[in-house]
Structure 1
Amino acid sequence: MCRHFAYLGRELPLTELIHPPQGLYEQSWAPRQQRYGTVNADGFGLGWYPPPPPPGTTATTWSDAAPPDHRPNAAAPPPARYRRAVPIWADQNLPDLARTVRSRCVLGAVRDATPGTSQDESAAAPYRCGPWLFSHNGAVPSWQRLPDELRLPLSAEELLWMEARCDSALLWLLIHRRLLTGEPAAEVLAELVPRIAALRPGVRLNILLTDGARLTAVRHGDTLWCRSDADGVVLASEPDASAGWREVPDHTLVTVAHDEPVRFRPLAPAAVPPAQAAATERTATP
């Protein structure tokens, strides 16, 4: 299990988002609402969006090694990332980074690794490709068989592109391949999450996704909270000590955009054909 947050609003230093009392930094060793696992010491990550380049200058090139047809149009600087495989409190470089870097959109996470998954920083959220940053808080049982059961087989090239061996990296690949077709993020999550939940009862799929201009999130199976103030909007696994938080209902899609109200939308359940459901139940790992 993990803890994560996403912010969209006016430009703030990272430290204001990471280090408030009972915020992400403290949640790494003292989460108050984490029901699975007790400490998030298996790495952390931060992703943020730098300001656009001045007129007349060349935008930073995209650095992701994406599969063919997965490379975005480099019209703006890509989001930056800082990820480590150490606990967030053990990184002596983070305080200087967090107080000097500012952004209008930030995604951060601390990790409690699932046994059998990658243990290095490649498995720490946020995942990134093109303009997108992604984080998953939860667990998908028997995740290795999921693409076939969803009737979404992956090519060898796509499998080699996966950053890490874990359920979060697989989810990101399944989501991102649809974003590349131009499908809106909200519709991708609203369709895919119920399908996975129908195949994997008890799955936990709390998701944060952003392209720097909009946040899209799902609460399914774990906690998610929302706070809006004069600075902007924060979505987080659990609230910090600030006032004004409200809990997002379970099985809910959340969308946030600049100068628009936060929108909540219940997820519609997905039906699984009986034969497919029976086959999944027979092959599922206890």
Structure 2
Amino acid sequence: MCRWLAYSGTPILLDAILYRPAHSLIDQSLHSKLGVETTNGDGFGVGWYATDVDTPAVVRDTAPAWSNRNLREIANHVRSHQFFAHIRASTGTAVQQTNCHPFRHGHWMWMHNGAITDFHRMRRDLALVVDPELFLDIEGSTDSEMMFFLALTFGLEEDPPGAVARMAGLVEEVGHRHGVEFPLQMTVAVTDGQSLWAFRYSSQGASRSLYYSTKVETLRALHPDVAFLRGISDDTRLFVSEPLGDLPGAWNEVPENSYGVVRPGTDDQDLVPFAPQAA
């Protein structure tokens, strides 16, 4: 499987989140504690939004994240209010650049941890549902990218939670038709550059790990000596596959079958039940 993080809030250098924490995503690429694999070395990707640019920049590579000099260079010089980072452990598809996350279409970014069970048996049926014009933009061979383009087909632009629910519903319907008992395993992050949604769901009810950060105001009261907390806004939030450190009170598990929303200008962080819908 994979590990990922999604950041939204005060513009910061990517380095502050990617490298500096004790159990940073770079550390997780070698020493994951909660993932299926300890090592996530089948490539990486980062995507970020710059000021006054609607579409995100995306850099992806098949090299391991822990030794990549280009990633280190980017992290030291890129500052963003919203960014994704992902380290990959392949579930069977090729290790190639087009299969590395995050995926981008227009102003949207998407990344995924998990799998569509027996994807090779279901791939054709799923692909035929993708909008023909969108299908032309699929570059890789992963189940994750297929999920993204199905969500786009099902109205991601107008209704992100509904589109993801319809995508999940289709995957389960097709999977059951092929005799797959538990077709879907996913934690997903998706953003339009403004709002951020993070989903945790699996057909079996045993989803991969996903955590969200405690409100900054609360953390400042708990840890007034932590300098990083003094420099970020109250609406700053993180979703992570596993905690980036052991700061008491900093991390909260996203419940099974639910999703969270982060919107700019508010420190609210709604957690809402999630269930697949008929496509």
**TM-score for the superposition, normalised by structure 1:** 0.79
CA contact (8 A) 1:207 1:218 kept: yes
Q: Report the alpha carbon displacement of residue 161 of structure 1 after superposing the two structures with TM.
A: 2.5
SS in 2 for 1:29: helix
CA contact (8 A) 2:166 2:276 kept: no
Which residue number in structure 2 is paired with residue 39 of structure 1? 39
Which residue number in structure 2 is paired with residue 185 of structure 1? 160
Q: Report the alpha carbon displacement of residue 146 of structure 1 after superposing the two structures with TM.
A: 4.0
Which residue number in structure 2 is paired with residue 80 of structure 1? 57
> Structure 2 counterpart of 1:100, which letter?
H
Which residue number in structure 1 is paired with residue 239 of structure 2? 235
> Structure 1 counterpart of 2:253, which letter?
E
**Compared with structure 1, are the counterparts of its residues 104 and 173 closer, same or farther at alpha carbon in structure 2 (3 Å cutoff)?**
same
2:150 to 149, 164, 174: 174
Which residue number in structure 1 is paired with residue 101 of structure 2? 125
> Structure 2 counterpart of 1:236, which letter?
V
Residue pairs, 1:35-114, within 5 angstroms: 36-52=36-52, 76-114=53-91
Residue pairs, 1:16-35, within 5 angstroms: 16-19=16-19, 20-34=21-35
Decide which moves more: 212-221 or 182-191. Answer: 182-191
**Compared with structure 1, are the counterparts of its residues 158 and 214 closer, same or farther at alpha carbon in structure 2 (3 Å cutoff)?**
closer
Residue pairs, 1:143-154, within 5 angstroms: 143-144=119-120, 146=122, 153-154=129-130
**TM-score for the superposition, normalised by structure 2:** 0.80
2:268 to 250, 256, 261: 261
Tell me the alpha carbon deviations over residues 34-56 of structure 1, each in whole angstroms, 9 at most, x when there is no partner.
Answer: 1x22310000000000011xxxx
Gaps of 5+ in 1: 53-75, 273-286
SS in 1 for 2:244: coil
SS in 1 for 2:117: coil
CA contact (8 A) 1:133 1:209 kept: yes
Gaps of 5+ in 2: 202-206, 217-231
CA contact (8 A) 1:41 1:87 kept: yes
SS in 2 for 1:93: helix
CA contact (8 A) 1:186 1:255 kept: no
Which residue number in structure 2 is paired with residue 15 of structure 1? 15
**Cα distance in 2 between the residues matched to 1:22 and 1:165:** 30
Q: Report the alpha carbon displacement of residue 268 of structure 1 after superposing the two structures with TM.
A: 3.0
CA contact (8 A) 1:147 1:153 kept: no
2:118 to 135, 142, 147: 142
- Number of residues of Structure 1 aligned to a counterpart in Structure 2: 246
**Compared with structure 1, are the counterparts of its residues 45 and 271 closer, same or farther at alpha carbon in structure 2 (3 Å cutoff)?**
closer
**Compared with structure 1, are the counterparts of its residues 269 and 97 closer, same or farther at alpha carbon in structure 2 (3 Å cutoff)?**
closer
Q: Report the alpha carbon displacement of residue 270 of structure 1 after superposing the two structures with TM.
A: 4.8
Q: Report the alpha carbon displacement of residue 108 of structure 1 after superposing the two structures with TM.
A: 0.5
> Structure 2 counterpart of 1:89, which letter?
W
**Identity of aligned pairs, percent?**
30
CA contact (8 A) 1:141 1:203 kept: yes
CA contact (8 A) 1:190 1:253 kept: no
Q: Report the alpha carbon displacement of residue 90 of structure 1 after superposing the two structures with TM.
A: 1.9
Provide the alpha-carbon RMSD of the alignment: 2.3
